[in-house]
A and B are shown apart, each in its own frame.
Chain A
Amino acid sequence: MRASHFHDSFAKKNAVFAERLGAEVVSKVSDSKTEYGLVRDGLGLTDVSYMHRCSFPEDKGLDFLDALCAGNVAKVRFGRMLHTFIADEAGNLVADCYVANNDEQFFLLAESIMDDAAFKAMLNSRGAADAGMVDLSESHAFLSIDGYKAWAVAKGLFGADVLGLPYLSVERYEFGGQPLSLFRAGKTSEFGYYLLAPAANAAGLLDKCLSLAMANKGGLCGVDIHNDLRLEGRFFNIFAEGAIVRDPLPLGLQWMIDLSKENFLGSTAIFERRAKGLSHKIIGVSAAPGVKELAKGAAVYNGAAKAGEIVASCFSYVLNAQVGLALLPVDIAFAGLTFNLGAEHGPELHTISMPPIMPKSLTVKLDEL
């Protein structure tokens, strides 16, 4: 198992550890309501060491990454990032990823549902070594800062200029005399930054971030709460609905694809399915009061007939209800309808518009702070 660079620091805070597909993760540090509140009202620091991270020299990496990813890597300008995915030959999802261009290198930051070793083997089988890939997963620590006040930590680390970075951008800084890459991204619908730094600086970086976080209603988070934050903010989660549905089209990920690209891994299968048209797609759902859980795989009934199933769920503290995603036939996958959960006369299940929340971060203008 690939160990976290922040293990000792999180262990001191009584964090609960687990394994995610060959990599160590911090599941949680506090209860879910506390961690949820950190991100929505302050900020949370999350160890994202489980994510794959590697770099490529710009000249060799471009063709390799463009052939691999569904998005158009050639269009990623200096200092910017692309949010896209990697599929297999059958056009089924393998990884949700960012590709960043920092002028000299491309970075690939990926969350994969393949085992850690299998993902690396897949990259190598596609010619990663010839493309000059440098695996940073062991050599570099990776920390995520998410929340309404995440910008305060970034500003405390690197100065006010960091507030001018647009969403999906990358910038180089220094920390502890070593280079550090900052990526402005995130999947909670609040402000988000990823910090990539040499492993030797991991403990010092976390200490500094935590001291800045504590001054801004912040603290440590585990990865489990991110499943809830993503769903409530309607960010795609490859570990939830992605792992079940696998086909990017019913998941609504067409925006991650450059439809004009002639070829990428899985493109033939994806474009064939697109030409045939969708039969099903996912839709947000909210359970009636009293429903304690929307279990993955639970049946959704339209009258007496089973229409679909739940593919992701969480408790929404904003709505005070169980919310989720259901996979339904396209002719009934509309918000504002009522179905039943588990049986014809089961509890009511309402299809809803996503995201159901209005994140506080949308009310903040960083360039006016």
Chain B
Amino acid sequence: MQAAIDKRRTVIDTFKQELIRRLNLPYAPDDLHEDVALLGAGLGLDSLDALEIVLCIENSFGIKIPDENIAVLRSINTVVDFVLAQKAESGAGQ
């Protein structure tokens, strides 16, 4: 269990820090629950912010999000799921 936690925590921490920095969010990483909605409700980010989130993922993890895959941006946890799945697929997470 601990290995899975460590792997996930690393991606979460990186993404949260980059999200806060890029969008100048008035929160510390611990203030952002991983299930909080990124767009609309929750953090209340808009479509321009969504582009920043996509860039944030690309720059932090070297992973591109297909234009049609807005489902990835539902929450921090769904972004992390996507990153971990892509890393596993490419073998980078091994």
Q: CB within 8 Å of B: which residues of A?
A: 83, 167-168, 187, 189, 234-235, 251-252, 254-255, 258-260, 274, 277-278, 281-284, 302, 331-332, 334-338, 353-355, 358, 362-363
Contacts and interface: CB of A to CB of B under 8 A. Distances in A.
Contact of B33 (A252, A338, A363): A252
Contact of A277 (B30, B40, B77): B30
8 contacts: A252-B35, A254-B31, A260-B26, A278-B30, A334-B4, A337-B1, A353-B81, A358-B71
Nearest to B9: A334
Contacts of B31: 254-255, 259, 274
Contacts of A334: 4-5, 8-9, 34
A170 to B, nearest CB: 16
Nearest to A358: B71
Nearest to A168: B44
B33 A355 contact: no
A353 B77 CA distance: 5
Of the candidates A189, A277, A302, the one having the most CB atoms from chain B within 10 angstroms of its own CB is A189
A76 B31 CA distance: 22
Interface of B: 1, 4-5, 8-9, 26-27, 30-37, 40-44, 70-71, 74-75, 77-78, 80-81
B32 A254 contact: yes
A336 B26 CA distance: 28
A338 B8 CA distance: 14
- The 3 A-B pairs at the shortest CB distance, nearest first, are namely A252-B33, A353-B77, A254-B31
Given A167-B40, A278-B30, A362-B71, A336 B35 contact: no
A234 B30 contact: no
A291 B26 CA distance: 41
Contacts of A331: 5
A337 B5 contact: yes
A254 B28 CA distance: 10
Contacts of B74: 355, 358, 362
Nearest to A257: B31
Contacts of A167: 40-41
Given A335-B77, A355-B75, A234 B4 contact: no
B75 A234 contact: yes
B35 A284 contact: yes
Contacts of A363: 70
Nearest to A260: B26
